[in-house]
Structure formats: C-alpha cells, structure tokens
Structure 1
C-alpha cells in the first residue's frame, strides 16, 4: 500500500474517533444535566404554589379552661369544635376570623391526659394588638399570668408583653396598627439558622422577610412567610448562640400550610430533605374517612409541617 495513502487512512480514522468521542461526551453531558434540570423544575413548584398558614396544632390538658382563657383574655373566637369519642380526643379551633382566610390554633384534648411537656424548642405564639397595655390589664384582671410587663422592646420602640396560658404556652403581645391577621407569629428555636432558612425557602416556598442578629443577647432571629409581617402570620426562627439541639416535649405538634397540589409539594420536600435533612413522615394522599389530601414532614430540626390540599380544606370547612 502507498505510504502516503496509509498515513491518510490513519489520520482519517483518528478524526472519526475524535468526532465520535465528542458526540459521546456531548450526549453524556446532556444525560448528566437532565436529572438536575428535572430537579430544578420540581423545585420551582414551591415558589409558584399558592400557600398560607392554616393552623398550629398543640395539646392541652383542659379544653374548656383553655377556650375560656383564649376567648375572655386574648379575644379569640371559637371557630369550630368536635369530639371524637371512638378515638378518645376532642379538639377546638380558635382564632380572630374565619378559617377560610385566617390563621387559627387547633387545640387537642386527649381523654384523661391533663399535662404535657412543652420542651425547650417551642418558643411562643404572637398576637398583634393596637393597645398592649389595655390587653394586659384585661388578662391580669381575669387572673392571667403576665411573664413580661408591657413596654418597649430592648433597643427599640415596639411595645411588647408576654403572657402564659393555663398550659404554659407563651404568647407574645405586639403593639401595632390595625392588621388583617392578629394571630401573627409562631416562634420555634433551631440549631442551624441558615440551614433552617434555606429549608423553609426551598421546601415550603417561604420568603425571608427579615433577619436580625442581637449579639448583646447572643441570639439571631429570622422571619419567614408568604406576605409582609403586618399582613399575615409568619414563622419566626430563633438561633441561640452555641445551642444546636432542643427538646421537643409532647405538647406542640405541628403547623399546617395550604397547597394547591400535595403531590407536587411532596416531591419538592423529598428533594430538599435529601439536601438539607429532615424527612417525609406521611406520603401524599387522602386521609381515610375525610378524604382531605395531605402530606407531612419534619424539618432538619425535627419540627413537623403538614401540607393540606386547599380545595379539600375548604370543602372540610363547609361541613362544619
């Protein structure tokens, strides 16, 4: 064979191999990018979804006593109440407006259980009032436990006070102008604030509304939610310097948030828990006997969140 022809064939063969390799690498790269692109599409749902805080669930030792305190001292209304004797519990929903548009507390009484451990992780609920001084005097007159007298917050001007309900749950009273949602905060303590913020942003579609570090008192707080603090309920996360773990007790249970699609929302949570921690505790689907679709999960600090199908939730309210 002609030497020049031989060399030409070798060079041509090398060119072909190089082209094949380039095509293979491009294809492999596309395949490698496909899962990531798919994950991004899944994660986008949390930001697109229409969500709001529905209610916080916790246990009390005397349902009638707590209802009396919340209505007469704090100014809440009983929104609905039900007794389930076959499962030996009763619960009541209270708040400052209809559940269709307002945040509520769901009080659960388990037959025969009159005391619970709140633990060190749960912080408080908060109520916005146009006159905290007047509210505190009303609570005091009815025998309520005032744990911080009303006055400006340290280093600021906002007037606040703290009171404790009959079961030991703390309520912060915050003075502010008229608001559509007086039941305005749920505060939980976390061991890694940045991780928790990232989790609630990605898994729950919340926005970081503000973050404040208070080095003099060695803590940092972050407010997250779906609208401005003066318009809706927000989640307040607190990090105390150097504290990475808290006890949960058996009193506070969970917070419920609405979603337009529990299946898509669960897929988001599944991805985020793999990255940041936490776990799904109930796969998406209808609750037997009620048919309201839900999914539930724990955040990286072990706090439970339940996502509830909004259309099903509204149907449930129609039956009350």
Structure 2
C-alpha cells in the first residue's frame, strides 16, 4: 500500500505483484490518477522520465505497465496531493445515478463537453471522476477495484440496498481474518460497467492500516530478493501473460 500519508485520510494505491506473470493486458477502464505536486514533476524531469504536456501546468506520465498519471505542476497541498481517480463508463447518467443516489457520493462538478462527472464523499478527500467513453468498458486483465472504508454498521445497509435495487453483489458481507491482527468485514459490489467496489468496516480497517515505519525498507528488501527473472532464464522459460 503506497500513498502520501495514513490511509485514514489519504488515498493509497495497492500494488500487487503476481509471481510468474510478466505482462497484463490493459483495458480502457482506468483512465488515470491525478495528483498535484511540483516535486513529482521535477522528479520526473530529473530522472528523465517521459512527460507529455497536456494542459496548463498539467503533464501526463505513463507508469510501468501503461497506467496514466496526470501531474499538476503546482505546490503540493497540505492534505492529500491525490486529487482524483478517473474511471470510464458507458452511460454517464446511469452511472452517476448509481454512484450518487445508491452509494451516496455527492456530485461536485459536471462537464458536458468532456462528458465527465466529479463525485466525492467529502471536499478534503480524493474525488472520483466518471468519464463517458461512448462505448463498452473493457477491463482487460489488469483491472483492480475502488475501496472505501465506512462505519461497520453501514455495511449491512449497503448490502440491503443493493439487494433491493437488484444491483450486483460480488461478495456478500463477509468477515476476513488476518492472523494476529483485526478481523475486517467487507462487502464487494460491481457497478453498471463492472467496476469493482469494496466497502470495508472502518473500525477494524484502521487497526490494519497503521503505517509501518519500516515499510520503504521492507519493500526495497523484497524487490532486491526477488529473483524471478533469473529463475525463468535459468529454466529457459518465459513469464506468462495474464
């Protein structure tokens, strides 16, 4: 889990490395993550990372694997620099209804020209942008899910509402054990375009999401110890494509 601060008040991304898989096929479902940080822009330039200027003070960077990051070349705000996550939808009005009327997000901005709607649960939190692509949403093989934490007692209400509205429930309310740590409860949904949405009980989640002061060192150690490329070369094999 990687981000600019604690998960209780910052957006974080979950990076998953699956051993033996060397490549994933991107779909058109995830349209990018936007963050405001002049430092990120200067870091990219210093490291020679390709940047494309796509607007005033706005750059596009492509991460390994093809994921898009939009970098706003302005001073990093005191709260979360991650401004929004953009998902593709096939029907903007129906999707807006789903995310606002059913899931309770507030519509904060509409752009008829770009066919986008910006939603959020709070002004200080990372926003969700829906972008109507005018066609089918393809999740490829590299898809992930959006996750929110909420008071545990709300999980049953969310599940009940989805059942009442005949919406997709991928995983009914379930308890997940983590040895030696808190047991969290989750319910996983899918919207009209099959974007996966996970709601997690906040009380237990806060116990699981405490920042590990050794996190960076542990990640570096794990990457250094990964010898999968050498193993595949030694055995004259290729990593699979998902």
TM-score category of the 2 structures, normalised to the smaller one = 0.7 to 0.9
Q: Choose from 155, 162, 165 the match for 1:269.
A: 162
Cα distance in structure 2, aligned partners of 1:128 and 1:136: 9
Q: Secondary structure at the match of 1:110?
A: coil
Q: Could you say which structure has the higher helix fraction?
A: 1
Question: Which structure 1 residue ranges, 4+ long, deviate > 3 Å from structure 2?
Answer: none
RMSD of aligned C-alpha atoms?
Answer: 1.9
Q: Choose from 111, 130, 137 the match for 1:237.
A: 130
Cα distance in structure 1, aligned partners of 2:85 and 2:117: 12
Deviation at 1:280, TM superposition (A): 0.2
Equivalent in the alignment of 1:280: 169
Q: Secondary structure at the match of 2:112?
A: strand
Cα distance in structure 2, aligned partners of 1:211 and 1:179: 26
Q: Choose from 121, 137, 150 the match for 1:246.
A: 137
Higher relative contact order (CA 8 A, sep 6+): 2
Report whether the alignment pairs 1:174 with 2:62.
no
Q: Secondary structure at the match of 1:266?
A: helix
User: In the superposition, relative to structure 1, how do residues 318 and 137 fare at CA in structure 2: closer, same or farther (>3 Å)?
Assistant: closer
Report whether the alignment pairs 1:222 with 2:117.
yes
Name stretches of at least 5 consecutive residues in structure 2 with no aligned partner: 213-242
The structure with more radius of gyration: 1
Cα distance in structure 1, aligned partners of 2:203 and 2:156: 14
Deviation at 1:102, TM superposition (A): 1.1
Deviations 1:179-199 (A, max 9, x none): 411112110110100111110
User: In the superposition, relative to structure 1, how do residues 318 and 210 fare at CA in structure 2: closer, same or farther (>3 Å)?
Assistant: closer
Cα distance in structure 2, aligned partners of 1:295 and 1:176: 37
What are the equivalent positions in structure 2 for 1:134-145 lying under 5 Å apart?
135-145=40-50
Q: TM-score, with normalisation over the residues of structure 2?
A: 0.79
Deviations 1:43-99 (A, max 9, x none): xxxxxxxxxxxxxxxxxxxxxxxxxxxxxxxxxxxxxxxxxxxxxxxxxx1100112
* Contact kept? 1:128, 1:179, Cα under 8 Å: no
* Contact kept? 1:144, 1:165, Cα under 8 Å: no
Report whether the alignment pairs 1:300 with 2:192.
yes
Deviations 1:239-281 (A, max 9, x none): 13xx231210121310110111211221122234x2xxx4000
Name stretches of at least 5 consecutive residues in structure 1 with no aligned partner: 1-92, 153-158
Cα distance in structure 2, aligned partners of 1:221 and 1:175: 22
Task: Judge which range, 285-294 or 164-173, deviates more.
Answer: 285-294
Cα distance in structure 2, aligned partners of 1:206 and 1:179: 24
